[in-house]
Amino acid sequence: MLTTKLEAILFAIAKPIAITQLSKQLNVSNEVVHEAITVIKEKFNTSNSGIRLFELDGKVQFVSNPDFGDDVSAFLKKEASGPLTRPSLETLAVIAYRGPVTKPEIEQIRGVNCAIILRNLLIRGLVEEKEDTTRLQNVYTVSMDFLRELGLHNLNELSQFVDFHENEKIQQLLSEIENEPSSDVV
C-alpha cells in the first residue's frame, strides 16, 4: 500500500522530493520509505519500463527511461512548438499578473492542478522557477522571453496590471491557502 501511495505522489509532483519529506508527510520512518523505494525501483527500473525511479542526494523522482531519450526529446520539442492551450494561457496570465507566485497559489486561483502546464511553460522558456526561502517553496515568474514575445519592457505595461496584481478578492482567495495545512506532497 505504501509503495502505491509513493508511486502516486511521485507521479503527481513530477519533481525531486526529499525522502525525509516523504517520510514526514506519510508518518513513517525514513527506513520504511527506503524499503518502499527499493520495491518501486525493482518494479520500474527495468528495460521493460518507460519510466525509472531516480534517486540522488536523498531525493527521488520519476524520470523517463534513458533508452527512449530521443523519442521523449522529439515529442517535447513538438509539444513546445505548438500553440498554447487555453489552460496554459490562463496559467501564464496568473503568473504574469500575480508573480512571483507559488504552484499552490496558481492552483488556488485556477482551481485545478497545474503541474504539467507549469512543466510545459518552463520547457517553452516562458516562465522561470526560483527558490523562495521566505515561502519555503519555489515561485514562478514570467521570463524575459515572455516579455520579448509580447514586445514589453516590463510587466507594468500589461493591460490593467496594477488592478490584477493588487486585487483584493484574489488576495483573499490566496490567504485561504496560507491558513490551510501544508499539502506540498500531493
Cross-strand pairs, 131? 138
Rounded Cα–Cα distance for residues 118 and 155 (Å): 19
Which DSSP helix (H) or strand (E) runs through 64? Answer: strand 59-64
pLDDT at residue 33, rounded to an integer: 94
Q: Does the predicted model carry a pTM greater than 0.85?
A: no
Q: What is the mean pLDDT of residues 62-90?
A: 82
CB atoms within 10 A of CB 20: 12
Helix (H) and strand (E) counts in the chain: 10, 6
Cα(151)–Cα(86) distance, integer angstroms: 21
Domain pair 2-68 / 83-178, same fold: yes
Q: Edge-to-edge strands of the sheet including 127-132?
A: 101-102, 137-142, 127-132
CATH class of 2-68: mainly alpha
pLDDT at site 60: 94
What are the sequence ranges of the domains in the chain? 2-68, 83-178
The pLDDT, as a whole number, for residue 179 is 59
What is the CATH code of the structural domain delimited by 83-178?
1.10.10.10
- 11-42 pLDDT tens trace: 887 788 999 999 999 999 999 999 999 999 99
